[in-house]
Each structure stands twice: as C-alpha cells, then as structure tokens.
Amino acid sequence: MSTLLFAWDYSSYPGARKYPHLFKPIQLGGLTIPNRIKYAATEDNFNDHEGFVTEADVAYMRARAEGVAGGLCFMQGVYMDEGRQGQGYVGQAAAWDDKYIPGLKRLAEAIHAERAVAGYQLMHCGRVGAVEVERCQAPSFVPQRLRVFKPVEAMTKEDIKACVRQHAEATRRGIEAGFDVFEISGIVGYLVSNFVSSYTNRRTDEYGGDIRGRMRFAVEVIQACKQVCGSDHPLGIRLCAEELLPDVRGNTPEESMRSYQIAEEAGVDYISVTAGWQESIVPVISRDVPMGSWLHLAKRAKEHVRVPVQMAYRLFRPELPNDAIGRGELDMWEMCRSMIADPLMPKKVLEGREEDIRHCVACNLCLARLFRDAPMTCYINPRCAHEHDARFAPQPAEERKQVMVVGAGPAGLECAYVAARRGHEVQVYDRRPEVGGTLNEAARAPYGDEELLTCRDFQKAQCEKAGVELRLGVDVTPELIAKEQPDVVVLATGPVYARGRGKGFDRGNVVNVLDVLAGRAAVGERVVVWGNRKPGIGVALLLAKQGKKVTLVGRDRSAGFDVNPSFKWRYLIYLRQNKVTAYNDCDIEEVGDGEVLVRTYDGYRFPVKCDSVVVTERVANNALKDAVHAEGIQLYVIGDALMPRNLSSAVHDGHRIGLRV
C-alpha cells in the first residue's frame, strides 16, 4: 500500500497541461510522490564548522522546497564519521551523533512546511573527502590525480564494517529527524564509487575483483540502510552510468549497468543516473555540453533495471525531461544547479511563468567556490545563500525616486527592475536598439555561450513586468542628464575597449572584439588577439573554428584569469584543440606591417605574423561621471563601467544597487 504525504491537484495549472508527464504522481517504494520533480541533494556549505545546521541552510532549503511544488526536495549529503574523513567540504552538515538530530529536524520541517517530500542523503566523500584532516579513505591506495585532494589511506575490513554501521546509524538519525526518502551517494569519486570502480579498487579480498566483488561494499551499505528504513521510507542510490575514465582503466559502461542491477537486487527503490567523476577529463555539466546529451544514459538504465530512474545532468529545459518521461526513457526530473539559479523554477513551470525563470548558465561557479571553501553562491542569482536575510530582497522604498539607468546590459537591467519593484520610477537608456549590452556579442562565442542570453531575456521580462521604461536607441549626453534632472543616475555603460600603449594600434587592421563577434569587422587569415581574459578567449575560439590561424597575446600569467576554475580548464583544452597559440605574461609592443612585435615580461622580443589584430583589453568607463556630479545628482557606477569583470559581477552589482537606491 502506498502512502501519499501531501495531496496536490495540478489539473488547473497551465504547466501541467503543457508538460503532463512532469506533473503526474510516481511511486518510490511505499511512498507516492505527487509529481516527477526532485531537487537533488546539492552540496552547500551554509552550516557551521562543526556540522550543525544554520538558519541560512534552513531558509535555503525552504525556498527549494517551495519550488518543487509538492515534489521531492533533498537536503545536502551528510557526513557520518566523527573523524571527518568522509567530510568533503567545510560547512557540510554532519550526522555522526544524535546531537545533530534537532538541526536536521529543522530542515525536514522546513521542507514539509511547503508541502514537499523531504529527502536525506548519506555522503561519504572518499578520496575527495578529508577536507579538514590529513588523509582520506578509499578501498585501495591509488595516488590522487588532482593535487588538491588529500593523500589516500586504504581501508581495512574493520574500517569498512565501521563505515557500513555509520551509514545505518545516520539513516536512523534521519528518520528520527522526520525525513521521508533516503539516498546513498555513490558518484563523482565519492567512497561508494571508489569501491565500484576498477580505477580505484585494486583489492584482492571479497571487496575487490570483478564488478560483483567491487559492489559488495555498496550492497552492504544498501542492506544496512534498508533494514533501518523498512517499508516506510524509500531508499535510493546515485551511481555512475559512465565514469568517463577510460584513460585510467575505469569501469566500462557494461560494468556500470551491472552495478545498477546489483543495487536493485540489494533492495534500492530507485536509481539516480549520473556521469563522470571529478577526475574525468571529459566535460559533463558545463555549457559546452549540449542540453539533453546524457539522456541516452537514462534510457540505457531503464533497459537494465525495473525501479524508477532519475537524472539531472544538463536538463535545464522542462520539455527535455517531460518528453523523455513520455517516451519511457526516464521517470523523474532531478535538478541541482537549475534550482540554485532559480529555487522556484519548477513552480514557475507549473504556473506557466517560464519567462520568469532565471536560468542557470552552467558556469559551475557554485562548485568552484564550494570546493575552495568560499561561501557558495550563484553566478547569476544574487539572493542565493542569502534567503534568510531580508536585506537581499526588494523592500518598499522610503521615498519614491526618479532613477535614470544608463546602459541596458546585465548590470543596468538588474538594477532597473529591482529598483522598480521597490517603487521607484525607472528609465533605462541605451544607445543600442536592443537590450543586453555586450551579452549580445559574448553569446556568439562557441561552446554553448548562447545560453548566456537567457540572462538577458529574464531581465528584460522582469523590467517589463516591473514597469521599467526602456528608452533604446538614445545616446545619453550631459545635456540630456541636465534636462531630465533625475534623483539618481546609475551608470552601467560597460567598459571602454582600450588600444595598446605600443606603436601602431591606430592602424586600420586593428579592430574591436565586439565588431568581430557581431560580424561587423572582417579579419584576415592570420589573427593576433590582444588580451587573454574571457573576451579574448571567446573571440580566439570563434575565429579558430572559422579556420583562422590565431595567436593569443595577454598580460595575465595564465589565460582565463577571469574565468572560474571549474570552467577554465575547458577553455584551455579548447584553445589547444583549435591550435590557438597562446603567449601569456606578454604584451604587444608594436603593430607593424604584417606582424606584431611581442614583448615578454622579462624583456625578450619576437615577431608574430598576422593580418589583423583584435583588441579585447577593457578599462573602466569614466564617461558621464563629471556631468552627473556637475548636476549634483546622486551617482552609482556598476558593472564593467566601474571595473571590467564578468557577467556575474554585473548582475550582483546591479542587484545590490537596485536595493540601495
């Protein structure tokens, strides 16, 4: 007999009619989930140093629970050992002692308060754990491929038995805290996956050998947890369908499917399909991987097991999982980063408000910060991690002001709609005929950068709904500012693209990166791109894919200084694959006839043949500041106009100033 915790009627909602397969119930073990939506356990570091749950984490989870609209909402994975070898990051929630139950209960209650089903994950991070101790645990001593991780300590049989008990005890604590569904994490290089993989499991005892031997630890964990869960609490597991580790003799796809079947035999009620490890050199979840690319893994899993199959990877658009469920290739739509970027995403889908979704741009800043012990945040969602703080939400303004925003790029648009929601009268000016600023050019770079335009489209929709007046095709001058006499001016005019200090930068073959990306400027077959940050990398890759011979020259010591580390490595590989020659820690001393003279940091000079030079270096834009000051008008400068950075800085700048004006 199946239990339904919360009854939901979706029949009157437009999203349920448009995506009927997403909003129908599903049974997991003895529990019925009202829809096919799951906020998957996503690592966050909002808890205190000792693993106790904080107000920030409770508010974060409650927002996501509201977003799943009656679906399944998982808290982050808990670590289960007092010695902290299973701990993967500072701020991870703990569950190795009963003293943690009250905090965990607050999370379960917050999820239930939104009439969602509460999920609880068990996560021993294995060879990517031990963030605060000297050595990590793993089945065998296999040296770390990534130097950021701790030295490996092979587990004894006593260690294995203790770890199985820890999983069971942590499960009991989760039940006492009030959680409904339980899950074992066996992905991306965490401990369960270390035992399953032929790459990291070299044991010769009963916990090693063939795939059944390597699955023995997972089976014992499943059985121990299942005994605690009983029939009242479904138990699932996340496992790799493809490890993407062929270069280090990882599991074959056939072995991975066999691991699914063995997990089903051991008693799991569902399987969550994943791909890749942290040590894989194949991109998995960055935006250079087209959406829907991994659905074939869910289909393969459905062909090998009878329990429901879930998957998250690169399914940001609801039509993808809806259609896959309709075809019988998937059972539940999992979301991680999509609901970091917009915690209410599935609720907005249900309500027919897809234009209000702030889409994830698959940059992985959330992960980059998390695994470097910086407070987790989102590239494009300024409220992420601040859901508990009312200062980060628009509050009614004490005094209604006329606000002139100069620049309809991501900084200006974000500021405009936030200020308008507070009650201000806001006009946005831009000399261009369309909104989006330089995002319109940046999105033309290859490898998925067109997804950046979702930010533009979201902000435009919010401005229209907030009553922001868009005055496009208007060049703001000191005279216009003097005439309008607004109470506040926000300069979001973007950067100035600087010419180099060397000779010859005034030549006709020296062109601007925006003109090249937009197709307004032609370049020759041999191109030197000046500037090795994101704009330079983007245009270099675009030109290289057109067959140009491209050389990248930049003053930073490494290309991609302004790209977050979890995405930067992809760009560096693409530069090599597209045969882009990169000279870092260098500058162009002179642009001459058919060549440029490059000077290294230590004074060595050499020529590089070229037909065209593309300028990508940016500096702050000081235009109009004096005019605003001369009128005695309150002034804010945001985004690249203040300091050239990236899309995230522009959005966050705009949001903060919109709250402040």
DSSP string covering 319-356: HHHHHHHHTTS-SEEEESHHHHH-TTHHHHHHTT-GGG
Q: 497-617 in CATH: which number?
A: 3.50.50.60
- Work out the end-to-end distance of the chain between its first and last CA atoms, rounded to an integer number of angstroms: 57
Identify whether the C-beta of residue 205 lies closer than 8 Å to the C-beta of residue 258. no
Q: Do strands 595-600 and 605-609 pair parallel, antiparallel, or not at all (unpaired)? A: antiparallel
The CA angle 150-60-422, to the nearest 5 degrees, is 130
- pLDDT greater than 80 at residue 1: no
Q: CATH 3.40.50.720 spans which residues of the chain?
A: 394-495+620-660
φ/ψ bin of 227: left (φ > 0), alpha (ψ from -120 to 50), beta (otherwise): alpha
Q: CATH 3.20.20.70 spans which residues of the chain?
A: 3-370
- SS3 labels along 98-166: HHHHHHHHHHHHHHHHCCCEEEEEECCCHHHCCCCCCCEEECCCCCCCCCCCCCEEECCHHHHHHHHHH
pLDDT tens for 510-519 read: 999 999 999 9
CATH superfamily entry for domain 3-370: Aldolase class I (3.20.20.70)
The neighbouring-strand residues paired with 121 are 77, 183
CA 464 to CA 462: how far, in whole Å?
5
Report residue 567's pLDDT band, with 50, 70 and 90 as the boundaries. confident
Identify whether the C-beta of residue 616 lies closer than 8 Å to the C-beta of residue 530. yes
The neighbouring-strand residues paired with 605 are 599
Which tokens go with 281?
């050199």
Identify whether the C-beta of residue 358 lies closer than 8 Å to the C-beta of residue 380. yes
Pick 188 or 564 by higher pLDDT: 188
Contacts of 391 (CB under 8 A, 6+ apart): 659
Burial per residue of 18-32, b for 16 or more beta-carbon CB atoms within 10 angstroms, e otherwise: bbebbbeebbbbebb
Distances in Å between the alpha carbon of 344 and those of 62, 70, 395, 619? 11, 12, 20, 37
Q: CATH 3.50.50.60 spans which residues of the chain?
A: 497-617
Mean pLDDT of the chain: 96
Report residue 499's pLDDT band, with 50, 70 and 90 as the boundaries. confident
φ/ψ bin of 79: left (φ > 0), alpha (ψ from -120 to 50), beta (otherwise): beta
**Mean local confidence (pLDDT), 523-539:** 97
- In 460-534, beta strands by DSSP E: 469-472, 488-491, 496-497, 510-512, 526-530
**Mean local confidence (pLDDT), 450-455:** 98
pLDDT tens for 244-273 read: 999 999 999 999 999 999 999 999 999 999
So what's the pLDDT on residue 99? Answer: 98
**Mean local confidence (pLDDT), 355-379:** 90
CA 201 to CA 210: how far, in whole Å?
10
pLDDT tens for 635-653 read: 999 999 999 999 999 999 9
Alpha carbon 350 to its chain's center: 23
CA 70 to CA 351: how far, in whole Å?
13
**Mean local confidence (pLDDT), 310-326:** 97
The DSSP call for residue 558 is S
- Of 46-50, 561-565, 594-598, the poorest mean pLDDT is in 561-565
For every residue of 216-273, DSSP letters joined together read HHHHHHHHHHHHHHTTTS-EEEEEEEE---GGGT---HHHHHHHHHHHHHHT-SEEEE
CA 259 to CA 294: how far, in whole Å?
18
Distances in Å between the alpha carbon of 551 and those of 277, 512, 563, 580? 33, 16, 19, 6
pTM score: 0.96
Contacts of 512 (CB under 8 A, 6+ apart): 497, 521, 614, 615
pLDDT tens for 139-192 read: 999 999 888 899 999 999 999 999 999 999 999 999 999 999 999 999 999 999
**Mean local confidence (pLDDT), 550-554:** 98
**Mean local confidence (pLDDT), 373-388:** 93
- pLDDT greater than 70 at residue 344: yes
For the 394-495+620-660 domain, the top CATH level (class) is alpha beta
Pick 44 or 135 by higher pLDDT: 135
Pick 533 or 2 by higher pLDDT: 533
- Of 155-169, 365-379, 469-483, the poorest mean pLDDT is in 365-379
pLDDT tens for 328-341 read: 999 999 999 999 99
- pLDDT greater than 90 at residue 375: no
Which tokens go with 32?
């019925």
Residue 544: phi, psi to the nearest 5?
-65, -40
**Residue 485: burial class (beta carbons within 10 Å; 0-12, 13-18, 19+):** exposed
For residue 536, give the nearest of 500, 560, 502 by alpha carbon: 560
The neighbouring-strand residues paired with 403 are 426, 488
**Mean local confidence (pLDDT), 190-217:** 98
- pLDDT greater than 90 at residue 306: yes
For residue 364, give the nearest of 383, 346, 382, 377 by alpha carbon: 377
CA 77 to CA 47: how far, in whole Å?
12
Neighbours of 16 (CB within 10 A): 22
Identify whether the C-beta of residue 617 lies closer than 8 Å to the C-beta of residue 497. yes
- pLDDT greater than 70 at residue 280: yes
Contacts of 71 (CB under 8 A, 6+ apart): 33, 34, 35, 36, 37, 38, 39, 116, 117, 346
**Residue 579: burial class (beta carbons within 10 Å; 0-12, 13-18, 19+):** exposed
So what's the pLDDT on residue 501? Answer: 87
Name the 3-class secondary structure at 588: strand
State the residue for tokens 């299942």. 226
CA 71 to CA 82: how far, in whole Å?
32
